[in-house]
């Protein structure tokens, strides 16, 4: 089985999971998680990496927080832990079935873990963004992050990576900008 590869703008999708208003007071480091996910969303927009946004039961948990910067994104409503609802599956298919997922959001031990397992079962590489993932208690984050990649089921080993928002953004931009002229300030010119 091939190992996990470097992120590629052409074969990636950004998954933004349930960063909603009612979670604000209860999620450990919520502001930092949303800020890091927002920076990654900005980078993905620049690099034309498609984002997919979910909200868990928005009638009860409220909308996505505005500081994520997700205005204009189609919102996929869900009432289960995994992000892979029928409508998300349809969107992945319409995107050409990306091979790599960049996964951000809450909660680590529930929605992020279930989504990661479902993505792995689909045959995708999963890049969990550690500084853009959280839960109600900090210790709830560590099992999903520390499992990576050693304790995943054998079929999932070597297809899961733990990364940071900066690492993910630089990884996909480096691949795209490799043959382009770099301007001062480390920006890729189109």
> Which are the catalytic amino acids?
18, 78, 111
Please, are residues 18 and 34 in contact by the beta-carbon 8 Å criterion?
A: no
In this structure, the number of other CB atoms found within 10 A of the CB of residue 37 comes to 29
Measured CA distances, 62 to 15, 80, 118, 137 (Å): 19, 16, 25, 21
Closest to 166 measured CA to CA, from 12, 9, 11, 42 = 42
Work out the burial of residue 134: count CB atoms within 10 Å of its CB; fewer than 13 is exposed, 13-18 middle, 19 or more buried: buried
Residue bearing tokens 């289960």: 80
Closest to 17 measured CA to CA, from 72, 59, 65 = 65
Closest to 36 measured CA to CA, from 133, 160, 135 = 133
């Amino acid at each position: 089985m091939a190992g996990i590869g470097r992120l590629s703008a052409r074969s990636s999708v950004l998954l933004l999971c349930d960063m909603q208003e009612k979670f604000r007071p209860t999620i450990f480091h919520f502001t930092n998680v949303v800020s890091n996910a927002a920076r990654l969303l900005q980078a993905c927009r620049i690099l034309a990496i498609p984002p997919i946004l979910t909200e868990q039961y928005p009638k009860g948990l409220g909308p996505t927080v505005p500081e994520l910067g997700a205005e204009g994104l189609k919102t996929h409503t869900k009432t289960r832990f995994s992000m892979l609802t029928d409508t998300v599956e349809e969107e992945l298919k319409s995107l050409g079935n990306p091979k790599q997922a960049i996964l951000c959001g809450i909660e680590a031990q529930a929605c992020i873990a279930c989504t990661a397992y479902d993505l792995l079962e689909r045959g995708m590489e999963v890049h969990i963004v550690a500084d853009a993932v959280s839960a109600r208690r900090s210790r709830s984050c560590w099992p999903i992050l520390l499992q990576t990649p050693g304790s995943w089921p054998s079929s999932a080993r070597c297809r899961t990576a733990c990364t940071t928002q900066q690492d993910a953004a630089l990884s996909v931009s480096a691949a795209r900008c490799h043959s382009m002229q770099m301007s001062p300030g480390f920006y890729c010119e189109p």
